[in-house]
Structure 1
Amino acid sequence: MLQPPLLAALALLAAGPAIAQEKTMTETARAERSAPHPYVGMWVTENGHIRHELLPNGRYDEQRGNRRSAYQGRYSVTGSHIDYVDDTGFSADGEFVSLDVLHHGGMVFRRER
């Protein structure tokens, strides 16, 4: 009859490949979540008054006229939809209509190249 520690060791050896596969899947999922989406970068209104930078770390920084960092906060992108929450708690959203055009707050932003 096998002793409990030996049974536990055999069970761990048998589960080894499954544990390794689960770890790899978790690391892959984490990498996919941390990979920047295609909308990271600077977005600007046609008149240049508002400059909206989407940072790869999920934060944004918005300049209005000469006022740098007028609004800052976090954002999340799901498909072509973006949700913003600024550091004061105000929330807003927008829609990317292409890789170079963002509709947000009744305004049209274009990607700065």
Structure 2
Amino acid sequence: MNISTTAASDGLPSAGHPYCGMWVTQDGYIRHELLPTGRYDEARGTRHSAYQGRYWVKGNHIDYRDDTGFTADGEFRDGVLYHAGMVLYREQPA
């Protein structure tokens, strides 16, 4: 499944973008929220907002740049986010 970014050419998501939302590791230790503003907020264990920054999506590829300048990337495949050696699943609403 190849999903386009938004109507904008800058790769920033829109509020209805299908990848926005909470992504979590299977054990729930890492919680990665992709916000519709093009920002992300990552929690690790009990440490909320351990990492924050911007992200851009092009097709199934995602690029990250945290607020310290560190960069990383990932890929969405079959409803799973593969990012920096982690496997994250979309959190389903309770």
TM band (smaller chain): 0.7 to 0.9
More strand by share: 2
**RMSD across aligned C-alpha pairs, in angstroms?**
1.3
Partner letter of residue 32 of structure 1? A
More helix by share: 1
Higher relative contact order (CA 8 A, sep 6+): 2
> Which residue of structure 1 lines up, in the alignment, with residue 81 of structure 2?
102
Partner letter of residue 19 of structure 2? Y
> Which residue of structure 2 lines up, in the alignment, with residue 32 of structure 1?
7
Partner letter of residue 70 of structure 2? F
Which aligned runs of 4 or more in structure 1 are off by greater than 4 angstroms?
none
After superposition, residues 50-65 of structure 1 pair within 5 angstroms as 50-65=30-45
Identity %: 67
Check whether the contact 2:14–2:37 (CA below 8 A) recurs between aligned residues. Answer: no
Q: Output the TM-score relative to the length of structure 2.
A: 0.82
Q: Deviations over 1:15-64 (max 9, x none)?
A: xxxxxxxxxxxxxxxx8226342100000001110000000010000000
In structure 1, runs of 5+ residues without a counterpart are 1-30
Q: Output the TM-score relative to the length of structure 1.
A: 0.69
In structure 2, runs of 5+ residues without a counterpart are 1-5
- How many residue pairs match? The answer is 82
User: Hey, what's the Cα distance between the residues in 2 that align with 1:73 and 1:35?
Assistant: 16
Q: Which has the larger radius of gyration?
A: 1
Check whether the contact 2:53–2:67 (CA below 8 A) recurs between aligned residues. Answer: yes
Indicate which of 51, 60, 71 corresponds to 1:71.
Answer: 51
